[in-house]
Structures are given as C-alpha cells and as structure tokens.
A and B are shown apart, each in its own frame.
Chain A
Amino acid sequence: MRSNTGLVFALPALIVLFMLIAYPVFYTGWLSVTNDQGQYMGLQNFSAVLRPRVTTQALWNTLWWVAGSIFFQVLLGIAAAILLNQNFRGRALVRSIALIPWVIPGIVAATTWAWMFHTEFGIINYMLTSTGAIDEPVGWLTRSNTVMPAMIAINVWKLFPFVAIMVLAGLQSIPQELYEAARMDGATYWEEVRHVMLPQIRPVIAAVTLLLVIWALNAITIIYAITKGGPANRTVITPIQIFRLAFESVEFNQAAALSVMFFGVVMLIVLAYIRAFASQPGGNQ
C-alpha cells in the first residue's frame, strides 16, 4: 500500500542516526577538499593519496580480504546454522559455545591467534611438527603467501558465529508445513535443505552478506594488531591506510579524501544490493 505510514514508522530511527551522522559526514567531506590550514584545495588531496604505490596495493589486498573472508564466513555460518537447527540433547550448550569466537574481544582474539601462529612460540607449529605432519615450522605470518590467508582465517573464525546465529534465527521461523509438504513428496534431508531451508533464508543471507562486506571493509583490528599491514605492505588494506594517514602521519585531509572515495564505492555496492534484494513487502512467494 502506498502511503506514508511506512515512513512514519521509520522516522525515529532515521532522525537519531541523522543527528549523529550528519555532522561527521559533512566534516569529512569538507576536510577532504581543504588543507590543514583550512584553505580550499580542490581535488589535490585525492590525487595526493592516489599517487603512492601503496594505495593500489591496498586496493588489491582489500579485494582479496573481502572476498576470501565473506565466502568462508557465509559457508561455515550456514553449515553451522543448519547443524544447530537440529534437535539434539545439549543443543543449547553447543549453541552458546559456538558464540564464543564472536564474543571474545577483537584485540584479544587477534593477539591470541598471533601467538598461536608464531613460528617459534606458536602452538600450531608445535602440534604440526611434534606429530610429524610437517618437518619444519611454517612461518605463517612471515611468508608472503601465507600471511594474508592467515589473517582471513582469523577473520572467518571470529565472525562465522554471527552468520550462524542470524541464519539460525531465520531457520527457526520456517513453518513446519513446508517441511511436511516436502517430506510427503519424498524429499531426502539434503533436498530439504536445498528446496525448503535455503530459499526461506535467502533474505537473511543477503542481509548478512552485505553487512559482512561492510565490516570487512571497515575492520582493521585484526590486521593492525598483528602485522600492522606488513610485511612490506602485504596485508595493508585501504582502511588501514586511512588510519595510518590520519593518526600516524597526522594527515587528516588525505585520510578524509580516501574515506570519501571509499564511502562512494561502498555506497554503490549497498544501493545495488538493495535494488536487487528488496522486493515487495511481505516474504513468502
């Protein structure tokens, strides 16, 4: 129904957010086109920040980071949700334990994993070498071809419970009749999964995936705490570059320029998502 009732419902949230976000948005925009004396500089900050080699490197790394993280977070999250949707004794306990990676403070998770991955102090290498699985300890965080995968693995571990819980909530809302109808047709369990569960949770997965993209693009805790973007910029992603510009080099204007560009790209992705997945009101086909 076309009226403005919907807008009225959404208004309180929109107002609160607007009050908090409007000024920062304008402030960042203004900073990106001025220098530190406050004089208008046009697009100079933008070109200054695009010039160094590290900017392109960061963009490529960011792509790997986002794609790798999301793929596994969603895959493992859905698998865990399906498992936790089953009826078995001790289910509540397993669900609570599954929450733990997400609950552990980011910085502690990062440093614990760095400790476990350490070439010499790390328990991972210790277990692999003492059982004879490998001969020499692996330099997980010191080799260019393993350091980014290690970071992605930590990110996946940290956030797949989020996906699991969100998808589980969606699974819990599936009406029994749909299952019964499928079973009357003689469906096996896996066919049930494909034809009943997955379609029902499609909106949830879409929403979750978008959020994961946004978080992967914004979360620097894990990488910054462990490698700071190294070695030799192998793990530097654009948000870390923004952070470095703002707080290590104290170049607030360039950091703002990079933020604006970043924001533009992500906004486009978001709008595309909304167009693609937000159909009519209501849910079931």
Chain B
Amino acid sequence: MRSSHALRQPGLNRPAIILGCFVLLVVCLFPFLWMGLSSIKMLNELYTIPPRWWPDHPTLANYHKVLFESRIPRYFLNSIIISVGSTGLALILAVFAANGFARFRFRGQSFWQACILIGQLLPTAAIIVPLFITLRVLGLVNTYWGLILVYMIITLPLSVWMLTSYFKAIPIELEEAAIIDGASRLGILFRITLPLSMPGIVAVLVYAFITTWNEFIFALCFATDSRVKTLPIGLAEFSTEFNTDWGAVMAASMVMTIPIALLFLVFQKHFVGGLTAGATKG
C-alpha cells in the first residue's frame, strides 16, 4: 500500500479533458452551426451546389421577420407559461411519488411503478382523440391549463421514474439517523432527501422543461387560438402549400434553442452534489 501523502490528483489529465471537450463541442455544435449560418442567409443562398459555409450577403432579415413580423414573440410567452406550469406541477407530484417508491415497500409496488409508465407506452396516434374528448368535456380546450394538464402524461412518468432512482442513491443511513432523532417522514423528505438529490431534481426539471418546450402534436390539436399557441406551431406556420421559409425557420429555431441553453448555464450552481465529506460520519 502506498503511503497516504502520495495521493494522486483526482480526475483525468489535462490533455484528455481538452481532447474530450473538443470532440464533444464539435459533435454538438456542427449541425447547430449549420442552422445558425442558414439563419443569416438569404433565400437564394440557402440551397447552393456545392454547399457554402459562409454566405456572400449575410443578412438579419430572417431575424427581423421572426421577431417583428410574426407571432413568434407571443408564442414564446405562451411556451414559457405552459412549460413552467407543467414542469412545476410535475415536479411537485413526482417528488412525493418518488419518495413513496424509493423509500417504502407496499403491496403491488412494481405494478404501480409500471402503471406510471403507461402514458409513455401508448402511441400518440392512439391517445390523442380520447384525450381531446376528455379536454373538451372538462372545458379546458384552448387554455393554458388544458395543455399543462395534458403534458403531465409526458413529464410525470419520467420524472417519477428518474427521481426514484436518484432518491435510492442516497444512503439510507442518513434517514435512519434522522428517524432515531425523531424526524417525521415529511421532514426527512424536505430536509434530507431533497437537498441531497439536488442534481437529480435539476436534471428532472431540465428534462420536463425541454420536453414541453418542443412538444408539437398536443399543442397543435389542443391550442388553435394564437393566444395559447406555442413555439413549435409557430415554426409550422412558416410553411405554405409549396414552400417553406427556411431562413425564418432556422432563425426561429435559434430563438427557441439559445435561451434554454443560457438558462441551464445560469442554473449550473445548483447542479452540484450535496454529499460532502463528513455527511455520513457519526
């Protein structure tokens, strides 16, 4: 056994990190770069043979059209409201449900866990008609709440599923110690489990937000009024019978994508592990 003062520096060595990051960045950004370049091209420079990277006449006209001449800004607002709403609601329900599945044993547990996933297993084509009828009966057609509720089907199952596994990764000893000290189940949930699983919570938040942000089918069918329509529908509105305004679609896509990446950048400080040395001692 080596002596303890020869402890190695943790982690990969520098060149490996740089190489890895380079590959990762190229892979992720290459199509995005193509999209970005397309968004500043005029129509006649978009489809050339051979393809060109940089346009001869770069233009901001596409962005002008998207931001000032289309309904995209309104759809942006709608998307934010609906995504935040459904993400928040799903998170609350999922935290409780995951706690139940991860920390307890009860009859039919496997069965109920499987049931949670059912919504994800049915093809959209199969469930959209009856879902529509449900919404109509509840009078929630063309409303924010209608979409938020329907999005539970796609956000809740995964959130519960993932959170369950994150909760399970927290050492049980911590909770047992708290119980000995007299804490209630709810207290444990809020004071131990949640803070320690912060990265998992953030991951689930990110997932739910992104999924509802880009969701198209349900939004198309259940929100036909511009007051409630979302961004993906806005994208589809740039197409007419025989033409698609690709420059505008690319510009709109940039508008849809970049804010989310920036948001994640801002949330980074919460994406840190809560288990520091000493937490399990004593």
By a CB distance below 8 angstroms, the chain B residues around A94 are: 21, 24-25
A152 to chain B, nearest CB (A): 15
B4 beta carbon closer than 8 Å to chain A:
yes
B280 beta carbon closer than 8 Å to chain A:
yes
By a CB distance below 8 angstroms, the chain B residues around A161 are: 28
User: Which of chain B's residues has its CB closest to A94's CB?
Assistant: B21
A47 beta carbon closer than 8 Å to chain B:
no
Query: Is A172 a contact partner of B271 (Cβ separation < 8 A)?
Result: yes
By a CB distance below 8 angstroms, the chain B residues around A217 are: 121
User: Which of chain A's residues has its CB closest to B12's CB?
Assistant: A86
B192 beta carbon closer than 8 Å to chain A:
no
A113 beta carbon closer than 8 Å to chain B:
yes
A283 to chain B, nearest CB (A): 4
Query: Is B11 a contact partner of A27 (Cβ separation < 8 A)?
Result: no
Residue among A17, A100, A207 making CB contact with B29, cutoff 8 Å: A100
A60 beta carbon closer than 8 Å to chain B:
no
A198 beta carbon closer than 8 Å to chain B:
no
Query: Is A218 a contact partner of B118 (Cβ separation < 8 A)?
Result: no
Residue among B10, B50, B51, B280 making CB contact with A177, cutoff 8 Å: B280
Given the complex of chains A and B, what is the CA–CA distance between A270 and B200 in angstroms? 22
Given the complex of chains A and B, what is the CA–CA distance between A29 and B282 in angstroms? 56
Interface string of A1-24 (1 = CB under 8 A from B): 111111111111110111011011
Query: Is B11 a contact partner of A87 (Cβ separation < 8 A)?
Result: yes
By a CB distance below 8 angstroms, the chain A residues around B206 are: 99, 165
A183 beta carbon closer than 8 Å to chain B:
yes
Query: Is A173 a contact partner of B196 (Cβ separation < 8 A)?
Result: yes
Query: Is B97 a contact partner of A13 (Cβ separation < 8 A)?
Result: yes
By a CB distance below 8 angstroms, the chain A residues around B14 are: 88
B129 beta carbon closer than 8 Å to chain A:
yes
Given the complex of chains A and B, what is the CA–CA distance between A76 and B153 in angstroms? 28
Residue among B123, B268, B276 making CB contact with A95, cutoff 8 Å: B268
B212 beta carbon closer than 8 Å to chain A:
no
Query: Is B171 a contact partner of A283 (Cβ separation < 8 A)?
Result: yes
Given the complex of chains A and B, what is the CA–CA distance between A17 and B249 in angstroms? 35
Query: Is A103 a contact partner of B261 (Cβ separation < 8 A)?
Result: yes
By a CB distance below 8 angstroms, the chain A residues around B253 are: 104-105, 108
Query: Is A83 a contact partner of B28 (Cβ separation < 8 A)?
Result: no
Given the complex of chains A and B, what is the CA–CA distance between A196 and B24 in angstroms? 24
When A17-B115, A183-B8 are in contact, do A112 and B31 touch as well, CB less than 8 Å? yes
B94 beta carbon closer than 8 Å to chain A:
yes
By a CB distance below 8 angstroms, the chain B residues around A121 are: 47-49, 51
When A17-B157, A20-B150, A175-B275 are in contact, do A271 and B100 touch as well, CB less than 8 Å? no
When A10-B100, A108-B253 are in contact, do A92 and B268 touch as well, CB less than 8 Å? yes
By a CB distance below 8 angstroms, the chain A residues around B21 are: 83, 88, 90, 94
By a CB distance below 8 angstroms, the chain A residues around B170 are: 173, 283
User: Which of chain B's residues has its CB closest to A262's CB?
Assistant: B123
Scan residues 80-119 of chain A and give those whose CB is less than 8 A from a CB of chain B: 80, 83, 86-88, 90, 92-109, 112-113, 115-116
Query: Is B97 a contact partner of A14 (Cβ separation < 8 A)?
Result: yes
Given the complex of chains A and B, what is the CA–CA distance between A12 and B99 in angstroms? 12
Query: Is A108 a contact partner of B35 (Cβ separation < 8 A)?
Result: yes
Query: Is A126 a contact partner of B260 (Cβ separation < 8 A)?
Result: no
B59 beta carbon closer than 8 Å to chain A:
no
Query: Is B117 a contact partner of A98 (Cβ separation < 8 A)?
Result: no
When A14-B115, A172-B272 are in contact, do A6 and B109 touch as well, CB less than 8 Å? yes
By a CB distance below 8 angstroms, the chain A residues around B24 are: 80, 83, 94, 97-98
Query: Is B165 a contact partner of A13 (Cβ separation < 8 A)?
Result: no
Query: Is B165 a contact partner of A189 (Cβ separation < 8 A)?
Result: no
B17 beta carbon closer than 8 Å to chain A:
yes
Query: Is B276 a contact partner of A176 (Cβ separation < 8 A)?
Result: yes
Question: Which residues of A are at the interface with B, using a C-beta cutoff of 8 A?
Answer: 1-14, 16-18, 20-21, 23-25, 27-28, 79-80, 83, 86-88, 90, 92-109, 112-113, 115-116, 120-123, 126, 130, 157, 161-162, 165-166, 168-177, 179-180, 183-186, 188-189, 200-201, 203-204, 206-208, 210-211, 214-215, 217-218, 239, 242-243, 246-247, 252, 255-256, 259, 262-263, 266-267, 270-271, 274-275, 278, 280-284
Closest 3 CB pairs of A and B: A6-B104, A9-B100, A282-B172
Question: Which residues of B are at the interface with A, using a C-beta cutoff of 8 A?
Answer: 1-2, 4, 7-8, 10-12, 14, 17, 20-21, 24-25, 27-29, 31-32, 34-35, 38, 47-51, 53, 93-94, 96-97, 99-107, 109-110, 112-127, 129-131, 133-134, 149-150, 152-153, 156-158, 160-162, 164-172, 185, 196-197, 199-200, 202-203, 206-207, 210, 213-214, 216, 231-232, 235, 249-250, 253, 256-257, 260-262, 264-265, 268, 271-277, 279-280
A-B contact pairs, 14 of them (CB 8 A): A21-B122, A87-B10, A92-B268, A100-B28, A100-B257, A172-B199, A175-B279, A183-B10, A207-B162, A242-B123, A270-B114, A270-B121, A274-B114, A282-B103
